[in-house]
Structures are given as C-alpha cells and as structure tokens.
Structure 1
C-alpha cells in the first residue's frame, strides 16, 4: 500500500485537520475528520491524525444551563483575588529572549505600580494575610486541598458577616481551619492546630464557637473511628489490632455505653483493650498522649467495655497488669 503526503489545514469548526482533497487516494471514498483523525469512510484508511484540539471546550455553569462558555481556569477561594491575577515578567520576553535595559526598567516600574494597586482596601489586604496563614496551617497539618478551600470559604463568610473586627486574624484563621476539618470529617484536634499556630488552644476553640454559632456550620460531631485511625498510624499499630479496636467501638455504640463521652477517650480505651488482647508492648500513657486525653480517661473508657464484653476485657486487661481503679 502506497502512502502519499497531503497538505493539511485545520478546521476550527470541526476541531481537526482536513485534507485539501475530499477523496481517498485508495478507493476514492469520502474523508471524515473526527477526534483528530482523518480517515476514509469506505475503506477505513487513516490518512492523518492531529491530537491537538485548538477549539474551546464549552461548559454550562450551575446558574445557567443553556449559556455554554469557555473562560479558562476555575476560580479559587484560596486567593484574595480568587485566582484572577496578573504576573509581570522580569528579564525575558514571551519567546525566551532577553529584554533590553530600557524594557526592564519599564517592567520594574509596572511591577511597582501593580503591587501598590494589588489590594483595593485594608479588608482585602487582611484577607490576603489570613489566606496565607490558612495555607501555611493546612500545609503543616498535611490537609488536602479541599480542606484549604473550605477553610478559606469559612473565613470569607466570617469577614462578610463582620466577625473579624476586634479579633485576631491568626485566631480566626486557625478557627477556620478547625471548622473545615470538622465539616470535612477530618480528624484534627484543637491541640494539633494550636501547636502549629501562634495562638493558644482556648483562643482557637473560642473563635470556633463564634464561627459555629454565627455561620451555622454543618459540622458533624467527631467520631471515635477518626481518632482511632490517627492514633494507630502515629503509634504504628498493626492492622489486626486496629480492626479489633474498631469492633469494640461498634460494640460500645450498639449499647450506647459511650454516649456523651469524649470520642478521643473512647478510641483510646478501645485501642488499649485491643492492644492488650494482642499482647502489644504499648503503654496507657503512649496511647493517651497520641489521642490527646489523659490516662484516667483511657482507663474509664476501658471500664465501660466490661459492659459489652466482660470476660474478654477482664482477661485482656489482666494480662497487661491493669488494676481496676478503686471507687
């Protein structure tokens, strides 16, 4: 089979290349371009392929299902200008060539004026500071990008409700990160967030209460399973021990034995009993410190497990040398 080179041209309406001729060189059939490939409709001969799509990809937005348009990258809540910004170059042009000294001086003046007009008001400047603090906290806590978006949205809503004046930007930013974790079901405690922030634990929790009350956040109560996963990963506990602790948590929930108790304490108590069942060398204080509770709380939740599985719990705690606290 002979192959012949043909001059090609791009068709904006069809989104691909079309041959100047409209006939197949093999069977004289009609040609069709679809998906970047030009092929014969009769014999299927592939004449050319063009993988670059120069056409726009229109989409419909939620507020208008019929108005399809293409406007570039989506907006983001993590930037004070929602991602619509301008970057002015320094030493090279768009082709990679070096700029002249006169052009560099001109760009330097443009950058200076651009930086002066970057913020339209003091509130916008404070917003940029808060979003930078949120970005730092989410990065230090290794939170996903979605949590950063939620935290930025919470802070923007708080600023729109005039909740920021009179309160520290760092405190409100840390509280927004904690609110994002609660709304996204991510296991992060106030202690962890305060350790990476420049504010105290009480200040973070106080600002979170303000956000939760004024913004009516959809924050679900924390679940023991979230703390269990985090603590088990921190202490490098085996998967079978972690699974057993999850079964104990489910058993407690079934009889409502841990109602009203700290979820972190429930997770710590169940994990300690599971560790004792598998004869792991992990102390109460290590598990309690990783969960953010005291050893007294851990022992109290371990006692609650005796209502569910008395024989297993008694033997497991006895093997670990656990003495029942005196009443």
Structure 2
C-alpha cells in the first residue's frame, strides 16, 4: 500500500456526528466512537487518540504585581473567627511614604495577622474543608451542615480532639447532625464518604452524645427500623403498597421485643421486606437484598426464621 493511500485511510474528516455525547468518525475502525477522557479525544473501540483539549489553564504571572493579582491559592478570608487584613501599602494614614524600618515592621505584622495563631484556629482550618468534602459526597442539605459544624466547633473548644482523630470527630459530628434531624442516611454512608474506620467514628460519637449534645440542647434520635424499611424499599424499586405491608408486619413482630434485643435493625427491616415481596410474587434475591441492607445472607435467613416462628 502506498504512502498516499495510508494518509487517505487515516485522514480525519471534518464532519463529525454527535450521538449521545459520543463522536462518530470514519477513519479509525469499523465502528468508531470517540469520547473526551482526561482532555484527550480517544476512540473507545480501537484506542486511537485524535487531539488534546487544554482546559482550565491559568494565566501566567511574571512580576510581583501579576503574582499579587492572579494568586488564587492564598486564603485571605475565613468562615470562622474575627479576622482583619493589614494592607501592604507603603504609605501611612496621611498618604506619606513610610521608611524601610516601618515598612518591614508592618510587613511582619501583616504576615502574623494572616497566620493561624491559635490551636483552635488551626484545628478548625483543617476540619472545615474535610467536612465540606464529606457533605458534598453525601449531598446533604444546608441545615445538616450547620448543625454538624456547630457540634464540631464545640468539640474543638473542649479540646476533645487532643490525642484523637480529627477525621473521626468530623464524621461523628456529621452523623450526629444527621440523626438529630432524622435525615435518611445510615452510618455506612458516612463511613464510605469520610473513609474513616467505623470504630473510630463510634468512639468519637459516644463522646459527642455524652458531652456535647446535652450542652447544645440537641437530641440524638437513633435510626429506627421503619426508616430502614422505606430506604431499602426505595432502593429495590418496590411499590408503596409492599412497603406498607412490610411496616404492618414489622408492627406485629415488634410486639415481642425480647426477641429483637441486641439484633441489628437492618436485618429486621430486610427480613420483613423479603417476606412481603415473596408473598406478592416480587422476585428479590437474598443476595441483592443483603447487599443493599449491608448484612450477610446468613443474618437475613436467621431473621426470616425468627419472624416465621412468631407468625
């Protein structure tokens, strides 16, 4: 094959057809499909790369004035605590220029003023972005965020984080706020979003419940089985009548409380959903239900046996 034929074969045509966010071209393979991945236009079938898109490049700075105007990484304002800014101008209040000694003095004062001068500020400065990250992952409303930040500020003021994990207290404060407002999120969601071990969150949560919430006049509401029934039912796309029947069955079996002492409410909620779905000829496997509920199949079968004994 001649070199000219090779060029014609791999020549990129200007016409591009868009279909479901996918670009179709006719030069790379029989069924080309090009998507933008990490700034590169790549065919998903053959792997050929067409071009690179440079997005979000910041403007360069070459002198002190441009660095000052274009700098975006230095934090100047904070969401907590009183804070003022000393200007870097080399003139006094009358407009006259100041000498080099006073200019150096005010430069040092400005640097100290912008720094984190207390351990409490350093703690909050580290915790604030972490809390925002977890909240954005869980897509929580603003009132839950405000309550979580209020709880953590009280934790930091009491210095409960000394010798303990800040990440654990951030996750525990957020979960306490979720339970205070009875928002439909479980502890597993917070553990996955914060990437913090469960036992660390448990230790921090126990301190918050004992020492912080009574002072803030906040009441911790443990998660109930009824909330889990609705949550699992929605995740399984079950109709509302099946969820209501599951709640009715739950009310019947919950009368004998001695059987459920020490049992995980997730297992009870999953078991009543499975029994009602089976009665209504809804195909739900124990594996899928156990995966959604965060329990094992053995636990699910054990709770089902206990319910059948009672009914």
TM-score, normalization by structure 2:
0.59
User: CA separation of 1:129/1:245 partners in 2, compared to 1, >3 Å: closer, same or farther?
Assistant: same
CA gap 1:115/1:292 in 2 versus in 1, 3 angstroms: farther
What is aligned with 2:301? 299
Tell me if structure 1 keeps the 8 A contact 2:161–2:169.
yes
Separation of aligned partners in 1, 2:176 and 2:194: 15
* 2:290 pairs with one of 278, 288, 295: 288
Partners of 1:279 and 1:175 in 2: CA distance: 41
Map of 2:190 onto structure 1: 193
Corresponding residue of 1:271: 273
Q: Whose helix proportion is higher, 1 or 2?
A: 2
Within a 5 Å distance, the mapping from 1:69-108 to structure 2 comes to 80-81=79-80
**2:129 matched to which residue of 1?**
132
Which residue is equivalent to 1:237? 238
> Structure 1-normalised TM-score?
0.57
In structure 1, what is the Cα distance between the partners aligned to 2:84 and 2:266?
Answer: 46
Which stretches in structure 1 are left out of the alignment for 5+ residues?
1-78, 88-109, 311-327
CA distance in 2 between partners of 1:237 and 1:86 (Å): 56
How many residues align? The count is 209
Do the aligned partners of 1:80 and 1:124 also contact (CA within 8 Å) in 2?
no
Deviation by residue 1:248-284 (Cα, 9 ceiling, x = unmatched):
1111223335343211111111111111111111111
Tell me how far apart the structure 2 counterparts of residues 231 and 290 of structure 1 sit (CA, whole Å). 7
Q: Does the 8 A contact of 2:154 with 2:212 survive in 1?
A: yes
The answer on 1:123 being equivalent to 2:120 is yes
Whole-angstrom distance in 1 between the partners of 2:172 and 2:255: 33
Runs of 4 or more above 6 Å deviation: 84-87
Aligned to 2:8: none
What is the CA–CA distance in structure 1 between the aligned matches of 2:279 and 2:249, rounded to whole Å? 12
Q: Distance in 2 between matches of 1:233 and 1:253?
A: 22
Give 1:119 deviation, angstroms: 4.2
- Indicate how the Cα distance of structure 1 residues 129 and 255 shifts in structure 2: closer, same or farther if over 3 A, else same: same
Q: Does 1:143 align with 2:140?
A: yes
Residue 273 to residue 114, structure 1, CA distance change in 2 (3 Å): farther
* Whole-angstrom CA distance in 2 between matches of 1:118 and 1:265: 51
In the TM superposition, 1:16-35 aligns within 5 A as none
